[in-house]
Structure 1
Amino acid sequence: MPIATLINALAIILGTLVGVLLRRNFPDRIRSIVYQGIGLSVLVIGLDMALKFDNIIFVVFAMLLGGITGELLQLEKRMSDLGNWFKARIRSKDAGFTDGFVTASLIFCIGSMAILGAIDEGIRGDRTILLTKSILDGFISIPLASTYGIGVMLSALPIIIYQGSITIAASQSQAFFTPVIITQITSVGGILIMGIGITLLDFKKINVTNLLPSIGYVVLFTVLF
C-alpha cells in the first residue's frame, strides 16, 4: 500500500488550498520573486540530477527518441485536454486551471525523490524520502496555486497513479531496479526538470510532457545493452 504517496497527495491538496486562499493577498512582486526562486531551485536540482548519468550515450538517444515519440503521440496536447476536461467538469472559470494542472504535475512527478522514494517504500518499506518530498511539495504548491489557481490541486491525481505504481511495481520486482537503472532514470529525470525550470523562468517554453517517453527509452537501452 503506497501510504507515503497518499500523504504526498494530501500535502499538495492542503498546499493548494492555502495558496488559493492567499491568492488575493499575494502582491505581484512577491509572487514574481517567489516564482523566480522556485524556477532557479528547480533548475539547479535538475542539473545536479542530470550529471549523475552512468552512460551519457543512452541518455542522449533516449531524449531524442523520447521527444519524437512524445510529439507523435501528442502527449502535451493530451495532458492539456485532460486538464480542460477536469476544468469543464468542475465548471471552473480559472484561466490558469489547465496550466496549473500540467505544470504542477510535471514538477511533482518528475524527479529523483519521486522515483527513489517510491522504490524505497516498495522495496524496504522506508517512507522517509517521500515524506520529505511531501513537505516540499506542500510548500511549493502554495505559490503555484496563488499563481495558477485550483488546477494545481489536480496534480495530486497523477502523483497517486505515478508514484503509487512505482511503489507497487518495486515491491513485486525488486531485482529489476538496479543502481544503474536508477542512476539512468535520475539523469533523464534531471534533464526534464531543467526543462521545467527554464519554462518557469520564462527563458523558453520547453514541451517537457512530450519528452516523458525518454524515461522509458533510457530504461530499455540500459537493460538491453
Structure 2
Amino acid sequence: MLPIGSFVNGAAIIGGSIIGVLLHSHFPERIRQIIFQALGLGVIIIGIQMSLKVQNILILMFSLLIGGVLGELLRLDTLFERLAGKLKKAVGSSDTGFVDGIITASLIFCIGAMAIIGSFEEGIKGDTTILYTKSILDGFASIALASTYGLGVLFSFIPVVIYQGALTLFASSFQEWFSPLIIDQLTATGGLLIIGISLTLLEIKRINLSNLLPSLGVVILLTVLFG
C-alpha cells in the first residue's frame, strides 16, 4: 500500500511554505509576532484536547520520564540540529531561522492526533479522509510558519512523509496490535508534547521536545505491558 495521504500532506506543506517564503520579506516584525502568538494559542488548545484522551496517567508520566532520559542519552536534539544544518548547507540557504524552522514545523506536523490516527486509518481501512483534512490545515499553518522562519519550514515535508508513511505501512501490517487504548495513550502523550511546542511559540518556556520524542514509543510499550 502506498501512503498516498502522506504524499498529499507533504505536497500541501511544500505549497504553503512557498507562499509563506514569498510573503516573508513583506511582513513587518509586529505581524510576525502576532502570527506566532496566534499559532501558539491555537496549538495549545489542540494539545489540551489531545492530552485529555489519557486513560492511564501513570503510564503517560513514566513514558515521558523514560522517553526523556533516552532522548538525552541519545542526544537527539544535537542529531536533529546537525541533520538540519547539513540540509541547510546542501541547499545553500543563508536563512538564520532555517534550522529552527524545520525542527519546529516537523514537530508541529508530526506530533498530533491527526498524524497518528490518520495514518492508522489509511493503513487499516484505506481511508485517507483524516490525512487529506490534515493536509489542508498543515498547508495553511506552513504559510504562517514559513513567513516567520523562512525556507526551513518547506523541508519539514521530509520527516512528515517518512513518519506518517511508516505509520501507514506499519498499521497495514500490524493492525491487530493497535487497540483503542493504545491509540488514546499515544494521542495523549503527543498532546503533551504539542503543549510543549505552544510554550516555545509563545516564548514562555523552551522545552527540549526533540529529546522527549522517544516517549511516543515508550508509551506504546508500557501500555502493552501494563495497560
Mapped pair 1:85 → 2:83:
no
Identity of aligned residues (%): 55
2:37 matched residue in structure 1: 36
2:139 matched residue in structure 1: 138
Gaps of 5+ in 1: none
Distance 1:38 1:121 in 2: 28
Distance 2:100 2:32 in 1: 16
What TM-score, normalized by structure 2, do the two folds share? 0.98
2:163 matched residue in structure 1: 162
What TM-score, normalized by structure 1, do the two folds share? 0.99
Which letter maps to 2:224? V
For residues 152-211 of structure 1, the C-alpha deviation after alignment (integer angstroms, 9 at most, x for no partner) is 011000011100000001111110111000000001000000000000000011011100
Which letter maps to 2:168? T
Mapped pair 1:224 → 2:211:
no
For residues 123-172 of structure 1, the C-alpha deviation after alignment (integer angstroms, 9 at most, x for no partner) is 01111110010000000001111111111011000011100000001111
1:100 matched residue in structure 2: 101
Q: CA deviation at 1:30?
A: 1.8
Q: CA deviation at 1:28?
A: 1.8
Gaps of 5+ in 2: none
Distance 1:174 1:69 in 2: 27
For residues 79-103 of structure 1, the C-alpha deviation after alignment (integer angstroms, 9 at most, x for no partner) is 0111000011111111111110100
Distance 1:151 1:33 in 2: 20
Tell me whether 180-189 or 29-38 shows the greater mean CA deviation. Answer: 29-38
- Equivalent residue of 2:175, what SS? coil
Q: How many residues align?
A: 225
Which letter maps to 1:189? G
| Counterpart mapping for 1:1-225 below 5 A | 1-225=2-226
- Equivalent residue of 1:26, what SS? coil
Q: CA RMSD in A?
A: 0.7
Give runs of ≥4 in structure 1 deviating > 6 Å.
none
Distance 1:45 1:216 in 2: 21
Tell me whether 110-119 or 22-31 shows the greater mean CA deviation. Answer: 22-31
Q: CA deviation at 1:27?
A: 2.2
Tell me whether 22-31 or 103-112 shows the greater mean CA deviation. Answer: 22-31
